[in-house]
Amino acid sequence: MLVSVRIVTFLILLSTWTVSAQVIQVDLPQSADLILDSVKIGENLTSAAFETDTNPHILYVIRDSTLVTSKTIKLGISEKRKYILEDDGLGSERLFYRSGPVTTEITSISGNSTFDVASVSTAFISIEDSIRMDSALTDLPEPDVIAIADPDSLEIEVETFDQALDRISEIDLEFDRSQAMIAWAGKNDMTVAQIRKFGELSAFDPSRFMLLQRLYPFCTDAENFGSLRDLFDFNQYKNQFSEWLAKQSEVE
- Encode pLDDT of 15-58 as tens digits: 444 445 789 999 998 999 999 988 888 899 999 999 888 888 88
- Contact between residue 247 and residue 219 where contact means Cβ atoms under 8 Å apart: no
Residues 97 and 34 reside in one and the same domain:
yes
For residue 137, what pLDDT is reported? 45
Work out the number of other CB atoms within 10 angstroms of the CB of residue 146.
9
User: At residue 3, what is the residue type?
Assistant: V
Residues 117 and 224 reside in one and the same domain:
no
Residues 142 and 107 reside in one and the same domain:
no
For residue 208, what pLDDT is reported? 94
Residues 100 and 155 reside in one and the same domain:
no
The residue among 92, 125, 158 that closes a domain is: 125
For residue 166, what pLDDT is reported? 94
Residues 109 and 212 reside in one and the same domain:
no
Residues 113 and 137 reside in one and the same domain:
no
pLDDT above 60: residue 244: yes
What CA–CA distance (Å, rounded) separates 25 from 8? 25
Residues 202 and 94 reside in one and the same domain:
no
Instruction: Specify the number of domains making up the chain.
Output: 2
In this prediction, residue 198 has a pLDDT band, given cuts at 50, 70 and 90, of very high
For residue 157, what pLDDT is reported? 60
Residues 100 and 121 reside in one and the same domain:
yes
Closest-CA residue to 183 (of 157, 135, 144, 236): 144
For residue 149, what pLDDT is reported? 52
Residues 112 and 215 reside in one and the same domain:
no
What distance lies between CA 93 and its chain's CA centroid?
13
Residues 108 and 154 reside in one and the same domain:
no
Averaged pLDDT score across all residues of the chain:
78
What CA–CA distance (Å, rounded) separates 127 from 130? 5
Give the HSE-up count for residue 66: Cα atoms under 13 Å, Cβ half-sphere. Answer: 9
The residue among 125, 148, 164 that closes a domain is: 125
- Classified as helix, coil or strand, 130 is helix
Residues 64 and 148 reside in one and the same domain:
no
Structural domain for 188, as ranges: 133-251
Most confident of the following: 27-31, 89-93, 102-106, 110-114: 27-31
Residues 31 and 94 reside in one and the same domain:
yes
pTM summary value:
0.45
